[in-house]
Amino acid sequence: MVVEEKLTGRPLTSVLALVAVACLGLPGCRPSAGGQSTAQATRAAQAAPANQAAPAAPATPTAPAARNQPVFTFGVIADVQYADAMPQGNRYYRDSAEKLKACVAHLATLKPDFVVNLGDTVDRDLVSYDTVLPIFEQLPSPVYFVLGNHDHNMPLAQRPIVLKKLGLDRLGGGKGYYDFARDGWRLVVLNGYAISLGAVAPDARKAGEAILADLRQKGAPNAQSYNGAVGPDQRRWLDRTLANADDAREKTIVICHHPAYPVGDCTLLDHDEVRAVLEAHRSVVAYLCGHNHSGGYAIKDGIHYLTFMGMIETKDTAYALAEVYPDRLQVTGFGREQSRVLAISSPAASPVGARLR
């Protein structure tokens, strides 16, 4: 199909891609003692089970008709991590292709406006994309890929080819991060592996080594080779993009492969700096990610941090449909993924913080 989307100021013809480039990938990630587990998270004040009424928005009342009709919907898939390989522990690499086929068939019947793939599309090997991408192409909706650490789990010379396969050689100037608008909302996609051991540019790999060495010296739980950082350039871009969303009175969903909160062994290497940018802007309502295959939820300073479960884990699947309403995000989970309702405050209720310089 041919799709026209307004993205970074230019129309893009094709099925859209948002990619998350992958690390070296290894054991499943666990939140640290300071974070919230999925079970704890569902007891949070602003996240109610999907079969309960969502809390009312505290600011401007929403018309009943609007509250019952989503502004738009999108499918969410995380950590397909396909490889032509035997199972290892709870990871069923070959099964991911069949799980994805069933997921795509189901999402096609739900007719979301678009689908977000949160990264780690493959586990390893460039040839693995030849199995998975044709399955995504069966979706009638646009697909946005996010770069995960495993997406670059291959020889250095092959890594730039991944960007081209996922359309990221054009999208966002080939940097792996970009934004797009949808009906008064802005979706901002980050490249959480831009500064990492698996980065393409030599200076980005060197910076990743330095950050990891510093965090290991401090005993940080996220000082792991499969994590990466957004980096200062991308954070400045994020700040400008969110400032524009504030001025336009848009609501913003930020998307990345790596979690930014709670802190654990899967968190971004520069999670504190990224959260500082998010918390400085009243437009930000949620941060969606993958990477931690067990999933999880937390809320901090009015921002929902939702980690989706990895499809690769166990024999069961995991994916979701997100419905966006003026006063809430309603997530319906399938397979292992949990359903929940996340209340949204009015942007006017939160002051805009200082801008980064």
Each residue's pLDDT tens digit, 122-159: 999 999 999 999 999 999 999 999 999 999 888 888 88
Q: Where are the domains of the chain?
A: 4-349
With a cut of 60, say whether residue 21 has pLDDT above it: no
List pLDDT tens digits, range 41-84.
Answer: 333 333 433 333 333 333 444 444 556 899 999 999 999 999 99
Q: Which CATH architecture has domain 4-349?
A: 4-Layer Sandwich (3.60)
With a cut of 50, say whether residue 108 has pLDDT above it: yes
Average pLDDT over residues 29-35: 41
List pLDDT tens digits, range 237-283.
Answer: 999 999 999 999 999 999 999 999 999 999 999 999 999 999 999 99
Confidence at residue 36, expressed as pLDDT on a 0 to 100 scale: 41
Distance CA 95, CA 312 (A): 8
In one-letter notation, the amino acid at residue 351 is P
In one-letter notation, the amino acid at residue 292 is N
At 351, the pLDDT band (50, 70, 90 cuts) reads very low
| H helix or E strand, kind and range, residue 48 | strand 47-48
With a cut of 60, say whether residue 6 has pLDDT above it: no
Give the angle 127-129-131 at the CA atoms, nearest 5°: 90
Confidence at residue 58, expressed as pLDDT on a 0 to 100 scale: 37
- Does this model's pTM top 0.85? no
Taking alpha carbons only, the member of 73, 71, 91, 72 closest to residue 83 is 91
At 174, the pLDDT band (50, 70, 90 cuts) reads confident
Confidence at residue 153, expressed as pLDDT on a 0 to 100 scale: 86
With a cut of 70, say whether residue 184 has pLDDT above it: yes
Confidence at residue 232, expressed as pLDDT on a 0 to 100 scale: 97
* 328-335 vs 340-343, strand pairing mode: antiparallel
Average pLDDT over residues 280-296: 97
Average pLDDT over residues 306-311: 98
Average pLDDT over residues 172-198: 93
Residue corresponding to tokens 């032509």: 84
The pLDDT > 90 percentage for the chain reads: 70
At 1, the pLDDT band (50, 70, 90 cuts) reads very low
Write out the two tokens for 162: 């991944």
